Structure 1
Amino acid sequence: MLHGSLWDKILIVALPFALTGIMQQLFMAADIAMLGQLVGKEAMAAVGSNSSIIATTLSLFIGISLGANVVIAGFIGQRNEKGVHDAVHTAVLVALICGLVMTVIGELITRPLLVALAVPAELLDMAVMYLRIYLLGMPVILLYNFESSIFRSQGDTRTPLICLVISGLVKVVLNLAFILQLGMTVDGVATGTVIANLISSSLLFYFLRRSKSTIAVHMQDFRIDKKILKRMLQIGVPAGLQGMVFSLSNICIQSAINSLGADVMAASAAAFNIEIFAYFIINAFGQVCTTFTSQNYGARQLERCRQVMKISMIQDLLFSAAICGLLVWFGIPLLHLFNTDGAVVALGFIRLKYVAGLEVINTVIEIISGSMRGYGNSLIPAVITFFGICGTRITWVYTIFQTQMDFEILMIVFPVSWIVTAAAICVAYKIFMKQLNSDMP
């Protein structure tokens, strides 16, 4: 990361990372498709109603894991082996503790939360069942994300991908067995998810134990370094809040979707499981931009940091434009994989047009945010995202949507919020870099 060409290296790291997210979503999409085809659109809608809650819950801790990535990558850039060792052990321990806490809290608030989100009464019990079982796996879900960040800090995105593929295949087999052989519904899919996450996190832990590099873990060395944890939180919490802002605004939108009925809920769940593939491409380059920037900034190579941002932006725009175009072009047949109901498919395509079709705008937000986090500043992107994304979407739901409660009107808010936020973050980045240049010796 510190020497030689960047064009090939960024691709080599970003594409497996993107593929990890895509594979993860493919396995989740398989859950929705199995329920839609083998159980019914009610089960599919019940699981879909939980997607924004799960995304919000995970966003904060994925952000903190990104903070761990930045801190470890910075130590690698500085060639500080003790710092790497202490940061790795701190990250793993924090993941397990946070996972246990979130399991307890989540189990207590599941039903009241889903009621507050206006999940229809006929879907509520299934939605509650799915979420409660899913939350039991929070410790291993967070462990996998933190372990993945540790591997990414040294440019290894392939090991997390391999572990995910293995666990994902097991998950598909388990889901089919639970649904077809045991007659389970959403509880079978949730149980398969928990088991799969246990497998993937255990595999990564095994590879960390066997590693010969500075990221190796040793059972006797687990402790939380308060100074390192503070730095992880300084970077990770704003990054996590930025992700939560997206998810919280989507919860608001999900509540509006729920008010439009089961067909719209099922259509939105199906479209979400398609459009999210574009996001994983966009987000992968943003995350890799963070890792490359943090290592080079740790080595005080500011010009190389600027090149990382430029190259990441170009590559991300090209790949995301291609995937967004393909998702819309093949939107109808892809939606039929989830449900063959004509009304559900037509509604799902409305969402694909406005979200997947225009998500390339989000590239600007992800890359600039990733670059600024690599420098150790994740507060500015978080604040801008809060006002640009969350503010725009919530305002839209409670003003424009209320005047015409139509699914298409609701979906237009996605590109509008991206345009507002992208414009603001471009201005902020110019100001930030000007200040950074003046502060550098």
Structure 2
Amino acid sequence: MRDTKVDMLHGPLAGKLFWFALPIAASSMLQQLFNAADTAVVGKFADAAALAAVGTNGEIVAFIVSLSAGLAVGTNVLLGMCIGKGEKKDIQGVIQIAMVLALAVGLVGLLLGQVVARPILVLIHTPEEILDLAVQYLRIYCLGYPALLVYDFGSAILRSKGDSRRPFLILTFSGFINVGLNLFFVIVCGLGVAGVAIATDLSTLFSAGMVVWWLIRETDEIRLSVESLCFSGKFVGKIVSIGLPAGLQGAVFCLANIFIQSAVNSFGSIAVAGSAISMNYEYFSYYILSACGQAATTFVSQNYAAGNRQRCRRILVLCLVGSVLFDSIVNTPLVIWRQAFSGIFSSEAAVIEAACQRMLIVLALGPVCGLYEVPAGVMRGMGYSLRPALMTMLGICLFRIVWVETVFRQVRTLPCLFIVFPITWAITLVLIWGTFRLVAWDKLKGNEGSAA
């Protein structure tokens, strides 16, 4: 296999950033397609109760995935800093501890999931008729949590040296395996909800196995040495201090989205269906912005540690331009021909109208998100994870909840509800750039210097 390492410290940046971010965005988009296929399988070949049981776990699963991915960010950033400083001994230490931490946290999550599955589902008012099925799904899903963390941390290790291609390949193969196992367990074995959860766990286990296999076969400093695995507290605090805020940020997003979805639900099935259509396109839009933010984090972590301040500033500018440009390329045709794109999912005029209302407001202004995602990513790459996470939670999550509970209660229309998205983006934009000015601006001045 050709060398997958990317030299982030020298040479032209634009092409490297593009080819690093592209597989990340494509991975998320593929995962979204595979999730839709899973839903289609259980909806088509099981029954309505099974579909509802899987669906009601959606935000809980999103919480788990966000927390896992966020924790992995800590590994990515810390390794990037070690690579930038050329500290090969510390690189090995971070890798060994990261994988042990992934297994340890994963096992705790596995056990916790078995205990709290029912209380959580009762707390979110899961209908009694699907409660047992929903609990069954969540408990089985949590059995795969250690594998999920191993994959996330392993992928973070690969991305820390610029390799986003292999995590993409792993996720692609895993997705096809997941769909195939879903068909087998649901149609052939008749396992319904349990079959969907088992298929997810097995495909995640495949992903974890593949990433570990590749790390063991590495020949450079990021090689995983299984016989040297041990737990030491030296790097755990740094990994958690960077990763946990990022994970909690995504988790709180889920809470805010529950409030928005609850408000949409109050308009009835037509509004729910229309909103769901728009959300399918919004996911793809956001994945582009998120990939640019992740690219900024990874590239800045190495260059900031190496003292390449001017290069860090260039990364910031290129990622800002790239996020807005590529997201606009995707969103513009969706907004212009929104009725046609909505018609792919429904032929009902009322549903299409509801979808178009949301698309016109949310997708048209979507590229604004990149203007705060990228500087937040740069700050994480510099080791400042808590501040951008708090600003994002305040600007987006908290304000959306406040809006639903105040303004929306007075003006109960869909446009009034959907306008909260660009409003909260604007608020977060101001908060993030204000924080960036205070925390990062002076540290990125000049060309050389210590990263301390």
Is 1:141 the counterpart of 2:148? The answer is: yes
Q: Which residue of 2 aligns with 1:168?
A: 175
Call closer, same or farther: CA 1:437–1:363 in 2, change over 3 Å.
closer
2:326 pairs with 319, 331, 353, which one? 319
Stretches of structure 2 that go unaligned for 5 or more consecutive residues are 1-7
Answer yes or no: is the 8 Å Cα contact 2:310–2:444 preserved in 1: no
Answer yes or no: is the 8 Å Cα contact 2:310–2:445 preserved in 1: no
Shift of the alpha carbon at 1:271? Answer: 4.3
Q: Which residue of 2 aligns with 1:117?
A: 124
Q: Which residue of 1 aligns with 2:398?
A: 391
Answer yes or no: is the 8 Å Cα contact 1:49–1:254 preserved in 2: no
Is 1:379 the counterpart of 2:386? The answer is: yes
Task: Give the stretch that moved more between structures: 126-135 or 16-25.
Answer: 126-135
1:92 pairs with 78, 87, 99, which one? 99
Answer yes or no: is the 8 Å Cα contact 2:182–2:195 preserved in 1: yes
1:197-208 to structure 2, matched below 5 A, reads: 197-208=204-215
Shift of the alpha carbon at 1:178? Answer: 2.7
Shift of the alpha carbon at 1:435? Answer: 3.6
Q: Which residue of 1 aligns with 2:255?
A: 248
Shift of the alpha carbon at 1:258? Answer: 5.0
Provide the C-alpha distance between the structure 2 equivalents of 1:105 and 1:261, rounded to a whole number of angstroms. Answer: 35
1:180-191 to structure 2, matched below 5 A, reads: 180-191=187-198
The secondary structure found in structure 1 opposite 2:235 is helix
Is 1:293 the counterpart of 2:300? The answer is: yes
Call closer, same or farther: CA 1:387–1:36 in 2, change over 3 Å.
same
Call closer, same or farther: CA 1:194–1:82 in 2, change over 3 Å.
same
Q: Which residue of 1 aligns with 2:5?
A: none
Is 1:413 the counterpart of 2:411? The answer is: no
Aligned length: 441
Stretches of structure 1 that go unaligned for 5 or more consecutive residues are none
Is 1:130 the counterpart of 2:137? The answer is: yes
Task: Give the stretch that moved more between structures: 361-370 or 31-40.
Answer: 31-40
Q: Which residue of 1 aligns with 2:72?
A: 65
Task: Give the stretch that moved more between structures: 373-382 or 334-343.
Answer: 334-343
Identical counterparts, % of pairs:
39
Provide the C-alpha distance between the structure 2 equivalents of 1:338 and 1:186, rounded to a whole number of angstroms. Answer: 25
Instruction: Compute the TM-score of the two structures, normalised by the length of structure 2.
Output: 0.89
Instruction: Compute the TM-score of the two structures, normalised by the length of structure 1.
Output: 0.91
Provide the C-alpha distance between the structure 2 equivalents of 1:435 and 1:51, rounded to a whole number of angstroms. Answer: 42
Answer yes or no: is the 8 Å Cα contact 1:77–1:296 preserved in 2: yes
Answer yes or no: is the 8 Å Cα contact 2:312–2:444 preserved in 1: no
The secondary structure found in structure 2 opposite 1:363 is helix
Q: Which residue of 2 aligns with 1:78?
A: 85
The secondary structure found in structure 2 opposite 1:226 is coil
Q: Which residue of 1 aligns with 2:4?
A: none
Code of the residue aligned with 1:302 in structure 2: it is R
The secondary structure found in structure 1 opposite 2:365 is helix
Call closer, same or farther: CA 1:32–1:409 in 2, change over 3 Å.
farther
Task: Give the stretch that moved more between structures: 313-322 or 232-241.
Answer: 232-241
Code of the residue aligned with 2:56 in structure 1: it is S
Shift of the alpha carbon at 1:274? Answer: 3.6
Root-mean-square deviation over aligned CA pairs: 2.7
Code of the residue aligned with 1:157 in structure 2: it is S
1:47 pairs with 39, 49, 54, which one? 54
Is 1:403 the counterpart of 2:410? The answer is: yes
Code of the residue aligned with 2:173 in structure 1: it is I
